[in-house]
Amino acid sequence: MAQKIAFITGGNRGIGFQTALDLAETGVKVVIGSRDLKQGQEALEKLRAEGVDAEVLQFDITKPADYKAAYDYFNSNYDRLDILVNNAGIAAGVFPGTGPEHSASAVPLDLLRKVFDTNFFAQVALTETLLPLIKKSPAGRIVNLSSILGSLTLHADPNSPIYNAKSFAYDASKTALNAFTIHLAHELRNTNIKVNSAHPGWVKTDMGGQQATMELADGSKTSVALATLPEGGPTGGYFHMGQSLPW
């Protein structure tokens, strides 16, 4: 059986980098997408120093031309793509230092558009571009990096742990991404492709900050589990560490 090929957007640091490390341990060849090629090359050197079979692709999730370049790369080198981890995204005020806090009634519309462009529209566009290659895989897997903050059920429940953790642009963008997961999984329900949303947890990264409750080593576990699901695994789900989350 041919070695599985994975593409991890934003794979040069944080959860994306850890996902690359952990996926490689399962025998997968990883290609990390990095907006800054120099930083990507540095990450690649670190991966290879750990014995990881990896490559780097200059990739900016906000540039549509890069979607086609990614398609051409995987098409010409592998003629397929087995795993797509839509990891790249922005926080926009969810964590300290990542942007202005904002309520639903006062969110700047330019910020709302920026967050949706990155966290939703770009994810949809990239997935649509690469889907013909994923369909060539004997066991395609698509993992959309969501957040528990995308759960409408929990946001509406005064007793939930996130009830008061509301940052409208980010939360709504992840809710929309969850909708894409559900719809795409339904569309592909009779294929060998599985599509799921992952909540990695609040992880100690540059984005999450050092006050986060999870170590980086654990932040990739949900993504890796969903990227390597067996044939009988779930599709169209929303998970954290093996547990289903309410939409």
Range name among 10-24, 94-108, 139-153 with the lowest pLDDT average: 94-108
Per-residue model confidence as pLDDT tens digits over 113-141: 999 999 999 999 999 999 999 999 999 99
Q: How far apart are CA 102 and CA 172, in angstroms?
A: 12
Range of the domain at 14: 5-244
User: Given this model, what pLDDT does residue 204 score?
Assistant: 45
Total tally of structural domains belonging to the chain: 1
- Whether 49 shows a pLDDT value over 70: the answer reads yes
Q: How far apart are CA 136 and CA 126, in angstroms?
A: 16
**Length of the chain counted residue by residue:** 247
Residues near 179 by Cβ (< 8 Å), separated by ≥ 6? none
Task: Please report, for residues 25, 30, 154, the alpha-carbon distance to residue 22 in angstroms, rounded to integers and kept in the order given.
Answer: 5, 10, 30
CATH number at residue 183: 3.40.50.720
